[in-house]
């Protein structure tokens, strides 16, 4: 809360203002206090430049709590512009759940359909056309500047500002501004100028919604924001312009050595002018020193730009990989991983060494022009050979492109085998399947090696040809130069200088030819990554979702059909067919059926991990496609059969989706699932190390962690697929007792083959062949199953004996 004396004003005067929220608060945007250390000043100045938010990409400021006033200020801005969103939606896809960095804040508001920029302005310097804007406060919070207040306010001067001998307090009237303080319930308040400046850093964020085309205008092509790679590099264009200027300086200074050699042979040697020799030597040494410094500066500038672009693009690709809708995810995890790994090829190609070579290319013509100046007709020799080199290099690109695409495909298959083997090494050893995977590995390795060898052969051909052309050029210049010297049209120094310049003229072309393989590899990888970037994501930026829906847990499926993606040309099998199910809020339902009947697929559709291929799924009467995916995830708990655990601690795995959960919540789910006993029985407690995929825990313990991870958010709708399949009888009994208490008032849908779990439910749905065959109260369905023979009994995996067991347990 600001330490200000403010005059509250009712917000009813502005009908467009709503109390909504938004993300984070950049510490490195704070205006440095004159009393602060020099180190802090350097950090602030180095990490931020006004109007250039991209400059902060490499800064590592202290993050800000998600629930701070800046977050609320940004969400308020979203609501003000008619696009209300929630905190959960705003923070979805960011690297951390509890803290966000300044760049992540800007990213969050942009993901919500806005453009944002940070400016350095005093309140009176902000144009009325830009209002409202978000002001960054010195207490790491935020507030909204609405405009000038029509009335002045009375302020009380702090005792520190009162002159000696004056009265302790002096009331004054001063101009005021209208601001929104999120911590005061998003009310509009009037704050004096001096009081506002006391807590204002001097930096503000402009937020503007991205325009959308009215549907009445007809179908239009989406706005082109530029290629994801080029648009990112363009953000750092000032670095590349600096590198281009550096290349100009480097290549001009490189001429000094040529002129030095020419003058020594033409003037110093014939005249034995040693004074001139040393003068020239000193001059050329200074030029060489500046060339050395310029090359290092250029390399540093390109490295900095490359590092920043790498961080942004890497985060962008990984965020895209996490956001892809499940039905569009590549079928092979290994190929998917290799696809992301290929970004390294793109990154390496646009690294400093490559860009330095490219920046030297235009100066080939400069060297040729200088050869014409000092060597006359000798300039025609490199001028004619340059198109030859370019032509041969371009001709080689065609076969090389085909080979590199094949190599990328074979490498993806090889990577897929590797990941499958590493993840399933225990199964391979247990079943003796090592030979099978070894055979596949050697097959794909051989194919990848063949395509790699072909690409290297083509690259070597190009490089050897350019090398031969360079040597041939030197011979031709010397031969024709001798004739020109004989005719008195050329000096020996000019001939030597022309040879040096001709070599320099072709050097960049030779390096470019050597980059042919890397270029095609990067291009193939770029095409693959661009295809990935075009895949649909869960949170469609073109859709205006309903944020913060009041989910009670009621869910309804109308004529739902579903099938998983399949290779092109093949008709996928239907896993769900014309499903019509209505589950009211608070209902407790069990889904029974034989293996492969569609039970797990039904839960995946209900959880919105997959969208139905036909029909609709409603929650509280709202199509779940209209609900923001982040809000849906916050209200729905889903435990699959194969929930994975990740490398880290027991606590980190339980709090995976809720890193901001309190220790009380952690202990609550620990007691509920029995994890508290696991934590108590080891010296590490809740910091118990867990390996990849839960190595170090038993199957039942892994299941307990997955259940705790889902229950910690207190979901309104709980979907569980075989939640106790790996538990022993005692653990299962304790779990059922606690779960029954914890899910009171929560809609519970559980898929199970365990009769003991039926005591949690009061309704049973039986599925067979992707269709609902039985749906009704538990006792009636169990009675029907006991008296029914045929598919229904089989589908529910209830024999007569099992039915009796189920009935006994349920009672």
Q: Is the peptide bond before 299 cis (omega within 30 degrees of 0)?
A: no
d(CA 805, CA 811): 10
pLDDT value at residue 526: 83
pLDDT band of 626, cuts 50, 70, 90: confident
**What single-letter DSSP state applies at residue 222?**
P
pLDDT over 90 at 536, yes or no: no
pLDDT value at residue 618: 92
Distances (CA, A) of 572 to 335, 607, 613: 21, 21, 11
pLDDT over 70 at 726, yes or no: yes
d(CA 191, CA 405): 63
Nearest to 98 by CA among 732, 754, 786, 657: 657
For 534, other C-beta atoms within 10 Å of its C-beta total: 10
pLDDT value at residue 212: 57
HEC string for 288-337: HHHHHHHHHHHHHHHHHHHHHHHHHHHHHHHHHHHHECHHHCCCCHHHHH
Residue 156 CB burial class (10 angstroms; 0-12, 13-18, ≥19): middle
d(CA 285, CA 256): 9
Q: Who wins on pLDDT, 497 or 229?
A: 497
d(CA 463, CA 465): 5
pLDDT over 50 at 25, yes or no: no
Coil, strand or helix: which one is 660? coil
pLDDT over 80 at 151, yes or no: no
d(CA 85, CA 69): 16
Poorest-pLDDT segment among 167-181, 186-200, 566-580, 795-809: 795-809
Q: Who wins on pLDDT, 98 or 594?
A: 594
Q: Which two tokens stand for residue 102?
A: 């300044």
Nearest to 496 by CA among 746, 269, 264, 674: 264
pLDDT band of 52, cuts 50, 70, 90: very low
Residue keyed to tokens 């749906």 = 775
Nearest to 118 by CA among 107, 129, 63: 107
Return the sign of the alpha-carbon dihedral for residues 123, 125, 128, 133: negative
Q: What are phi and psi of 362, to 5 degrees?
A: -60, -25
Q: Who wins on pLDDT, 33 or 648?
A: 648
d(CA 666, CA 674): 12
pLDDT value at residue 330: 74
pLDDT band of 102, cuts 50, 70, 90: low
For 129, other C-beta atoms within 10 Å of its C-beta total: 5
Is 0.75 surpassed by the pTM of this model? Answer: no
d(CA 196, CA 263): 69
Q: Which whole number is the average pLDDT over 799-803?
A: 37
pLDDT value at residue 504: 86
pLDDT band of 352, cuts 50, 70, 90: low
For residues 595-624, one letter each, b for 16 or more C-beta atoms within 10 angstroms of the residue's C-beta and e for the rest, the string is eebbbbbbbbbbbbbbbbbebebbbbeeeb
pLDDT value at residue 8: 32
CA angle 359–361–364, rounded 5-degree value: 135
Residue keyed to tokens 């000193």 = 282
d(CA 550, CA 619): 10
Return the sign of the alpha-carbon dihedral for residues 264, 269, 271, 276: positive
pLDDT band of 137, cuts 50, 70, 90: confident
Q: What are phi and psi of 219, to 5 degrees?
A: -70, 125
Helices (H), 159-273: 193-198, 228-235, 237-263, 269-271
pLDDT value at residue 13: 34
pLDDT band of 51, cuts 50, 70, 90: very low
Q: Who wins on pLDDT, 517 or 721?
A: 721
Mean pLDDT of all residues belonging to the chain:
77
pLDDT band of 698, cuts 50, 70, 90: confident
Encode pLDDT of 235-286 as tens digits: 888 888 988 899 899 989 988 988 898 889 888 888 888 888 899 999 999 9
Poorest-pLDDT segment among 711-720, 738-747, 757-766: 738-747
pLDDT value at residue 644: 85
pLDDT over 80 at 670, yes or no: yes
d(CA 811, CA 807): 6
pLDDT over 50 at 306, yes or no: yes
Q: Judge whether 579 and 771 are in contact, CB under 8 Å.
A: yes
d(CA 141, CA 239): 32
d(CA 681, CA 426): 27
Q: Which whole number is the average pLDDT over 347-361?
A: 78
pLDDT value at residue 568: 62
pLDDT value at residue 765: 93
pLDDT band of 519, cuts 50, 70, 90: confident
pLDDT over 90 at 44, yes or no: no
d(CA 5, CA 7): 7
Poorest-pLDDT segment among 190-194, 350-354, 395-399, 458-462: 350-354
HSE of 476, CA atoms in CB hemisphere, 13 A: 17
- What percentage of the chain carries pLDDT values higher than 70? 81
pLDDT over 50 at 386, yes or no: yes
Q: Which whole number is the average pLDDT over 391-412?
A: 83
d(CA 121, CA 123): 6
Domains in the chain: ranges and CATH? 7-216 (3.90.70.10), 230-533 (1.20.1560.10), 555-810 (3.40.50.300)
pLDDT value at residue 174: 66
pLDDT value at residue 176: 77
pLDDT band of 349, cuts 50, 70, 90: confident
Q: Who wins on pLDDT, 650 or 791?
A: 650
pLDDT band of 157, cuts 50, 70, 90: low
Q: Who wins on pLDDT, 464 or 810?
A: 464
Length of the chain, please?
811
DSSP one-letter string for 476-511: HHHHHHHHHHHTTS--HHHHHHHHHHHHHHHHHHHH
pLDDT value at residue 763: 92
pLDDT value at residue 155: 56
pLDDT band of 750, cuts 50, 70, 90: very high
Helix%, strand%, coil% for the chain, nearest 5: 55, 15, 30
CA angle 573–579–585, rounded 5-degree value: 135
Q: Is the peptide bond before 132 cis (omega within 30 degrees of 0)?
A: yes
């Amino acid at each position: 809360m600001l330490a200000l004396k403010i005059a509250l004003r009712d917000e009813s005067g502005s009908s467009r203002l709503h109390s909504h929220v938004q993300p984070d608060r950049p510490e490195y945007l704070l205006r440095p206090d004159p009393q602060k250390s020099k180190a802090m000043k350097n950090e602030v100045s180095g990490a931020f430049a006004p109007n250039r938010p991209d400059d902060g990409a490499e800064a590592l400021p202290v993050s800000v709590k998600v629930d701070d006033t800046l977050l609320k200020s940004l969400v308020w801005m979203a609501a003000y512009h008619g696009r209300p969103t929630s905190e959960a939606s705003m923070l979805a896809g960011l690297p951390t759940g509890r803290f966000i960095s300044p760049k992540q804040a800007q990213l969050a508001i942009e993901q919500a359909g806005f453009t944002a920029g940070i400016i350095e302005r005093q309140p009176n310097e902000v144009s009325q056309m830009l209002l409202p804007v978000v002001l960054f406060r010195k207490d790491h919070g935020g507030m909204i500047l609405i405009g000038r207040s029509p009335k002045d306010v009375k302020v009380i001067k702090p005792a520190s500002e009162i002159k000696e001998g004056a009265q302790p307090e002096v009331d004054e009237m001063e101009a005021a501004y209208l601001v929104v303080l999120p911590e005061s319930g998003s009310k509009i308040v009037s704050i004096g100028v001096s009081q506002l400046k006391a807590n204002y850093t001097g930096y503000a964020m402009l937020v503007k919604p991205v325009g959308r085309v009215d549907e009445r205008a007809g179908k239009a092509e989406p706005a082109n924001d530029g290629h994801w790679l080029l648009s990112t590099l363009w953000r750092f264009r000032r670095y590349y312009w600096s590198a281009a200027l550096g290349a100009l300086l480097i290549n001009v200074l490189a001429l000094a050595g040529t002129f030095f050699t020419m003058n020594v042979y033409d003037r110093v040697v014939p005249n034995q002018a040693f004074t001139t020799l040393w003068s020239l030597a000193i001059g050329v040494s200074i030029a060489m020193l500046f060339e050395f410094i310029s090359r290092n500066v250029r390399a540093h500038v390109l490295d900095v730009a490359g590092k920043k672009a790498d961080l942004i693009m890497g985060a962008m690709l990984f965020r895209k990989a996490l956001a892809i809708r499940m039905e569009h995810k590549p079928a092979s995890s290994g190929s998917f991983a290799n696809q992301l790994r290929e970004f390294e090829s793109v990154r390496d190609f646009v690294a400093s060494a490559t860009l330095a070579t490219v920046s030297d290319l235009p100066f080939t013509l400069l060297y040729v022009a200088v050869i014409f100046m000092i060597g006359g007709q000798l300039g025609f020799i490199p001028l004619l050979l340059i198109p030859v080199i370019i032509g041969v290099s371009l001709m080689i690109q065609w076969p090389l492109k085909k080979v590199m695409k094949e190599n990328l495909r074979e490498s993806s298959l090889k990577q897929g085998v590797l990941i499958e083997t590493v993840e399933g090494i225990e199964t391979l050893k247990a079943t003796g399947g090592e030979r099978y995977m070894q055979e596949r590995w050697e097959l794909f390795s051989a194919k990848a090696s063949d395509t790699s060898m072909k690409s290297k052969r083509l690259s070597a051909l190009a490089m050897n040809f350019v090398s031969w052309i360079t040597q041939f050029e030197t011979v031709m210049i010397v031969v024709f130069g001798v004739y020109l010297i004989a005719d008195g049209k050329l000096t020996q120094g000019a001939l030597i200088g022309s040879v040096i310049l001709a070599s320099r003229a072709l050097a960049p072309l030779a390096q470019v030819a050597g980059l042919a393989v890397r270029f095609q590899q990067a291009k193939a990888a770029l095409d693959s990554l661009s295809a990935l970037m075009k895949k649909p994501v869960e949170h469609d930026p073109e859709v205006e979702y309903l944020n913060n829906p009041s989910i009670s847990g009621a869910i309804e499926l109308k004529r739902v059909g579903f099938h998983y993606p399949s290779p092109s040309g093949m008709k996928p099998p239907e896993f769900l067919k014309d499903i019509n199910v209505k589950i009211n809020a608070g209902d407790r339902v069990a889904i029974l059926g034989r293996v492969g009947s569609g039970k797990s697929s039904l839960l995946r559709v209900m959880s919105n991990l997959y969208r139905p291929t036909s029909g609709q799924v409603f929650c509280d009467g709202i199509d779940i496609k209209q609900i923001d995916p982040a809000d849906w995830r916050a209200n729905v708990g889903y435990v699959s059969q194969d929930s994975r655990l990740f490398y880290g601690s027991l606590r980190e795995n339980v709090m995976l989706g809720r890193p901001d959960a309190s220790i009380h919540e952690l202990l609550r789910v620990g007691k509920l699932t029995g994890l508290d006993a696991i934590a108590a029985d080891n010296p590490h407690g809740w910091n118990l190390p867990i390996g990849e995929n839960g190595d170090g825990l038993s199957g039942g313990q892994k299941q307990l962690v997955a259940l705790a991870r889902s229950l910690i958010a207190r979901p309104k709708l709980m979907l569980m697929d075989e939640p106790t399949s790996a538990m022993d009888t005692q653990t299962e009994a304790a779990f059922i007792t606690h779960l029954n208490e914890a899910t009171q008032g929560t809609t519970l849908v559980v898929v199970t083959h365990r009769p003991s779990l039926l005591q949690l439910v009061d309704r049973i749905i039986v599925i067979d062949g992707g269709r609902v065959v039985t749906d009704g109260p538990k006792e009636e369905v169990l009675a029907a199953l006991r008296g029914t023979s045929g598919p229904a009994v089989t589908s529910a995996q209830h024999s007569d004996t099992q039915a009796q067991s189920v009935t006994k347990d349920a009672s």
